[in-house]
Amino acid sequence: MTNQINLPALRIGIGFDTHRLESEGRLKIGGIWIDCDFHAVGHSDADVLMHAITDAILGALNEPDIGQLFPDNAKVNKNRNSADFLGEAIRRLNTQEMAIVNLDCVILAEKPKMAPHIGQMKTELASQMGITPQQLGIKAKTGEKVDAVGRGEAISARVVVLLAAC
């Protein structure tokens, strides 16, 4: 016999992503393009924040991760817009009758400075997820010259999401 406790229908998910950086191009992060002298390398558009958000939502839903749903060896995913990945996570969220309570996101990048772009990222991402910008926390940290992020070789994002039953 199992003990059943009436718990609120809450779920927590964690998302993490890292992409290598190379010279030239523009950087896409949080659904927006930032002009700079480098870009993130990936099979899709390499939006590290959107990938981490997608995986956090999928994890909270106990669904397959982004790599299983959108494999990097599938031609259809080459240069694909990461909004497609997030859109699928939101579709699954709606199917399970769950809603986003809030997300807490951290971007790890030595450059460019993210603070001037966070408001636009929040607006763009909130719109895509059907939430308010107040439900979406985004912070940026440098790598303090430590590891691949600190040396400017990579960009990374970490996300925690809280979901509740509708």
Length in residues, the chain = 166
The answer to whether residue 4 sits within a structural domain is: no
Contact 135, 103 (CB under 8 A): yes
Q: Is 33 a domain residue?
A: yes
In a domain, 76, yes or no: yes
CATH of residue 116's domain is: 3.30.1330.50
pLDDT of residue 149: 95
Whether 3 is covered by a domain: the verdict is no
Q: What is the pLDDT of residues 101-151, one digit of tens each?
A: 999 999 999 999 999 999 999 999 999 999 999 999 999 999 999 999 999
90 pLDDT higher than 80: yes
8 A C-beta contact, residue 48 and residue 94: no
Residue 121 lies inside a defined structural domain of this protein: yes
Host domain of residue 54: 10-165
Query: Region 48-58: what's the mean pLDDT?
Result: 98
pLDDT tier at 3, thresholds 50, 70, 90: low
57 pLDDT more than 90: yes
Q: pLDDT tens digits, residue range 4-28?
A: 767 679 999 999 999 999 999 899 9
State the average pLDDT for the chain. 94
Domain count, the chain: 1
Q: Is residue 5 part of a domain?
A: no
Q: Per-residue pLDDT for 99 more than 80? A: yes
